[in-house]
């Protein structure tokens, strides 16, 4: 029988946990450094210029509370930036704002992985909670194979979402870097710091994907191992 706090699980996913810790350290380090380097405009102004250059003058930019809560809402066609990113005239703010604007550019050209990711969000959220619950219930009910395999199948939606999310995030950063240079918002020297921030952020998505994959493999291996026993 296995449980959510099985020590074997933490051993199983330890590579992802270590990568996640390293990625978070890199994000904070790169962000703190880039936050100290001035940019020619605020994050909101940079995002506005990128959107306008792509003909997306109809996409509004809203200021929202929180730290690093920045996002592009493809349903409402709104780009939302945290207060610090919205107002700050730093390379960190400009880089993050440009990344979110990159998602708006994806939406404008119907970038397929973005559409797939958005469609997978409710399924992944459903599968994350219910899938784990069914796996635990199946284990408690004398290794009920039907519940466990149904839980594993539902949790697979989380892995699928993470796998699709990777190219979406990488592509948004690529678009952001291209636009920042093409529009003359950040010079080559400044792009060094922007690249560090966006590349560090990308590592967090890699770590999340790896953890989802290893968690799925853990469930499968523990169940099939118990079946053999």
Report the chain's mean pLDDT, rounded to a whole number.
91
Cβ proximity of 146 and 115 under 8 Å: no
Q: What is the pLDDT of residue 199?
A: 96
Cβ proximity of 105 and 207 under 8 Å: no
Q: What is the pLDDT of residue 83?
A: 94
Per DSSP bridges, beta strands 71-73 and 61-64 are unpaired
| Residue ranges of the chain with per-residue pLDDT less than 50 | 1-2, 229
79 SS3 class? strand
**Tokens matching residue 51:** 């959107």
Q: What is the pLDDT of residue 142?
A: 67
Is residue 73 classed exposed, middle or buried when 0-12, 13-18 and 19+ CB atoms within 10 A define those classes? middle
Q: What pTM does this model have?
A: 0.88
63 SS3 class? strand
Please identify which of the residues 100, 139, 180, 201 carries the catalytic annotation: 100
Q: What is the pLDDT of residue 143?
A: 66
Quick check: is 169 catalytic? Answer: no
90 SS3 class? strand
Phi, psi of 192 (to 5 degrees): -60, -45
Q: What is the pLDDT of residue 58?
A: 96
């Amino acid at each position: 029988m296995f449980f959510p706090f099985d020590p074997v699980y933490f051993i199983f996913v330890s590579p992802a946990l270590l990568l996640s810790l390293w990625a978070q350290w890199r994000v904070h380090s790169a962000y703190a450094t880039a936050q100290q380097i001035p940019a020619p405009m605020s994050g909101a102004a940079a995002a506005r210029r990128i959107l306008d250059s792509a003909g997306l003058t109809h996409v509004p930019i809203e200021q929202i509370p929180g730290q690093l809560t920045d996002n592009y809402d493809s349903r409402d066609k709104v780009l939302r930036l945290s207060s610090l990113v919205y107002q700050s005239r730093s390379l960190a703010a400009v880089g993050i704002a440009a990344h979110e604007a990159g998602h708006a550019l994806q939406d404008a050209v119907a970038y397929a992985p973005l559409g797939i990711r958005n469609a997978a969000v409710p399924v992944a959220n459903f599968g994350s909670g219910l899938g784990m619950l069914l796996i635990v219930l199946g284990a408690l009910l004398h290794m009920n194979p039907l519940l466990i395999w149904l839980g594993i199948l539902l949790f697979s939606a989380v892995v699928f979402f993470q796998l699709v999310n990777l190219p979406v995030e990488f592509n948004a950063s690529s678009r952001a870097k291209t636009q920042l240079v093409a529009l003359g918002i950040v010079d080559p020297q400044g792009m060094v710091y922007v690249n560090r921030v966006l590349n560090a952020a990308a590592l967090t998505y890699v770590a999340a994907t790896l953890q989802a994959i290893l968690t799925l493999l853990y469930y499968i291996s523990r169940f099939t191992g118990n079946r053999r026993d």
